Amino acid sequence: MNNREFEEYLSRFPHRLHYALTVSEEAKNEFINASEVNFCGINVYRGTINNKEVSENDFISFPDAKNLSDEEIKERLIRDKKFNIGSFAVSVNESIDELITVLNIPYKRIKGIAKGQMTSEFGVADFKEGSTHHNWYLFEESEKKLSKQFSILSVEEIENERMVSGR
């Protein structure tokens, strides 16, 4: 992503991500260097907070979920190495097996697995070579649309997905 594209996209993101990208040059550079703006139709999986339906809350980033203030965001970006620009994204994975391993499913907070398509219509994402995991930086108001586009997989569907992936 070049600087012109960055400026264009900046205004489309939720306040907390927008703020982080303006106060941290390191976060801004990481975001610009890692983000792809044009992609479509990538099947991905995401851990969900219940196993009956996908909700808007399943697509809220950590800073938004914790309702962090601008000052807390600025301080964490400076002091906490684990709190980086990826904290402002939602994590998705092209591999259901990788998702299960990383999230240690079943896990007390993650109750289900949803499947859907990642497209640039809803935000930008990073694509690291050799990785099936992506940070997806969602545009403002994408959560509602995504909660309808993604669907919860049943235990049987999860097993079928895993068999198809060779596990």
The CA distance from 31 to 36, in Å, is 9
Distance CA 18, CA 15 (A): 5
**Banded pLDDT at 95 (limits 50, 70, 90):** very high
Mean confidence (pLDDT) of the chain: 86
pLDDT tens-digit readout, 126-155: 988 889 999 999 999 899 999 999 999 887
Give the whole-number percent of the chain exceeding pLDDT 90. Answer: 30
CA pair distance 155, 111, nearest whole angstrom = 11
Q: Do 108 and 89 form a contact (C-beta atoms < 8 A)?
A: no
Quick: pLDDT tens for 29-79. Answer: 888 888 888 888 899 999 888 888 999 989 988 878 788 889 988 888 888
d(CA 156, CA 135): 27
User: Could you tell me the pTM of the whole model?
Assistant: 0.86
